[in-house]
Amino acid sequence: MHTPFTRYIILLSTYLKPQWRRSLLLGLLILLTIGLQLLSPQILKTFIDAALAHGVSSSLLLIALAFLAVLLLKQGLSIASTYLGEYVAWTATNQLRSDLIAHCLTLDHAFHSSHTSGEMIERVDGDVNALANFFSQLFFQLFSNVLLLFGILIMFFRIDWRAGLGVTLYAAFFLGMLIILNKRLIPYWKAQRQASADFYGFLGERLAGVEDIRTNGAVTAMMRRFLLLLRTWFPLTYRARMMDARFSIVNFTTIAAGFFLIFLLGAYLHGLYPTEVTVGTIIAMYNYGLMLLEPVWAIQDHIQDLQQVEACIQRVNELLLMTSALQDGQRTLSDGALKLAFRDVTFGYTETQPVVQDIALTVEPGKVLGIVGRTGSGKTTLARLVFRFYDPQHGEVCINDIPLQELSIRDLRQHIGLITQEVQLFHASVRDNLTFFNPTIPDTAILSALHESGLGVWYQSLPQGLESRLGPGGEGLSAGQAQLLAFARIFLINPGIVVLDEASSRLDPITERLLEQTMEKLLAGRTAIIIAHRLTTVQRAHDILLLEDGKIGEYGAREALASNPTSRFAQLLKHGLTEVLA
């Protein structure tokens, strides 16, 4: 689909408006540069006519110096406009990147589950990089080339109306041809950009799992998939570039015909008016003809970029038009332990395949609910519903008797803390890892969270304190230290509800015991949900929920279930969780 011209206007007005002063200065520099370009052939005409009429004289030296000054000034203005154009472009596109990332963060979990990180990097950074060229070169250079083209036409009209008319008709034909070819090229480049996004999405995902791919002997299969994507990407790129090549041939032929037209007009007019259309005038026409090549070739060079930009604008626009399926509410939660309730909740990632069904339970403020069940029974799905990553198809999840749909999503997630076995750590300072790059959190609060989580001694060993940088993915930290950093994050935000999703399933028993004291502090005065594969973890729960195929298999007070020999939970305590649920 062809991008409407209004999309260009909206994009430019949105991101250039804050820089209108620099944009105005850039436009002025472009106008001055064009004026000097148009002046150069006139100075050359004057020099030739003066030399033929009067021979060598002092005036020729002055004219030559003026010509040199114009060239130097034009070059200086060109450098200044290039610098300013790049500054404007990167400022605008950095703001666009920021807006895209902020928008993506507002989209629901379903969107992020269906788009790989590599694809999103390509769309947010790759497409925006192409738009940087649009802001810095395509727009301003296209603007300057159009003005230069009109200036050249005006100069031809000044020489003779027939020369101006002939060149104008030629220019109109050429621009019309550009518009037609422009429409035909867009689908090729859009398909190529999508193939590029798919390839980088695949590459980013596989590089993240390179260790598992190697250890499981999947290198050959991954290489087959890699080559398949390349075979898809290559022909799309080939076809797009072949269309560009055909377009270049048509351009070259058209330019040659136009150049021939200029020579023909010059010879004809010199024959009619030898005193008015002098040798200097013919040389000026020749130079204007050469100058005409500049905007023509520039437009040709930018056509491929224009196709890519148009495809990028469409893709960026499509991303910005995506909306979350979750409607934000307005109500907020109070501090302290919160009441959590599932009221006949049924949910599936697809409408026809429910993952959890008819879940009805209540967790009173300050109480702990332990959830056990086979892999795929819906334990993690319940945690996602608490965070409102999704809305249930039937029933509702409530906190303090308020349906989640009525709560502000931002406020909701500020009142819930999540700890999983996969702790995401950044290649950044300890401070940034704990605060998620929020500079407003004071050091005293961060240090308090570290000591509460049992990391006081570890912190004292850091050479640069809170500014010490962690390795990529937490490199250099033990699994226990990474888990304790996750606990420190929760202490820092002080939520009313804590969800521990298999937080210790990968820890050895010795390391897990080190976390017991920290977990005891964390759960004190907070409502909690513990999803675990170890019975020692759920022993601190007040109530137990056993999920079977997404339904409640057993639910009740932990002590009551443990004392009932016929209950499934009692069997778990007797025989072991893995054996009973296998």
* DSSP SS3 for 529: strand
pLDDT at 342: 95
Measured in whole angstroms, the distance separating CA 240 from the mean position of its chain's CA atoms is 24
The confidence score (pLDDT) of residue 182 equals 67
C-alpha neighbours within 13 Å on the C-beta side of residue 124: 19
Place of tokens 């193939």: 195
- Displacement of CA 506 from its chain's centroid (Å): 33
Give the span between the Cα atoms of 251 and 255, in whole angstroms.
6
> Using one digit for the tens of pLDDT, what is the confidence trace for 45-104?
888 877 777 666 778 888 889 889 998 998 999 899 888 888 888 888 888 888 888 888
**What was the pLDDT predicted at 580?**
45
> What whole-number distance in Å separates Cα of residue 571 and Cα of residue 576?
7
Distance of alpha carbon 157 from alpha carbon 153, whole angstroms: 6
The CATH number of domain 7-321 is 1.20.1560.10: yes
Helices (H) and strands (E) in the chain, counts: 22, 10
The DSSP H or E segment spanning 557 is strand 551-557
527-531 β-sheet, strand order:
416-420, 497-501, 527-531, 368-373, 543-548, 551-557
The full DSSP string for 337-403 is: ---EEEEEEEE-SBTTB-SEEEEEEEE-TT-EEEEEE-TTSSHHHHHHHHTTSS--SEEEEEETTEE
Contact residues for 221 (Cβ-Cβ < 8 A; gap 6+):
none
Residue 292 to residue 355: CA distance in whole angstroms: 67
Q: How many CB atoms lie within 10 A of CB 179?
A: 8
- Is 0.85 topped by the overall pTM? no
Whole-angstrom Cα distance, residue 407 to residue 261?
A: 72
106 burial type by CB count under 10 A (0-12 exposed, 13-18 middle, 19+ buried): middle
**Domain regions of the chain by residue span:** 7-321, 340-581
Give the list of residues 6+ apart from residue 423 with CB closer than 8 angstroms, or none. 474, 482, 483, 485, 486
CATH superfamily, with its number, for domain 340-581: P-loop containing nucleotide triphosphate hydrolases (3.40.50.300)
User: pLDDT (tens digit, 0 to 9) for every residue of the chain, 582 residues total?
Assistant: 455 556 667 777 788 788 888 888 988 888 898 888 888 888 888 888 777 776 667 788 888 898 899 989 989 998 998 888 888 888 888 888 888 888 888 888 878 877 777 778 877 877 887 777 677 666 677 778 888 888 888 888 888 888 888 888 887 787 777 767 767 777 787 788 788 878 887 887 777 777 778 877 788 888 888 888 888 888 888 888 888 788 778 777 877 787 788 778 877 776 777 777 777 777 777 778 778 777 876 766 666 666 667 777 888 888 888 888 888 899 999 989 999 999 999 999 888 889 999 999 999 999 999 998 888 888 889 999 999 999 999 999 999 999 999 999 999 999 999 888 788 888 899 999 999 999 899 999 999 999 998 888 889 999 899 999 988 877 778 878 888 899 999 999 999 999 987 655 556 666 667 778 888 888 889 999 998 766 667 788 999 999 988 999 999 999 999 899 888 888 887 776 544 454
Same fold for the pair 7-321 and 340-581? no
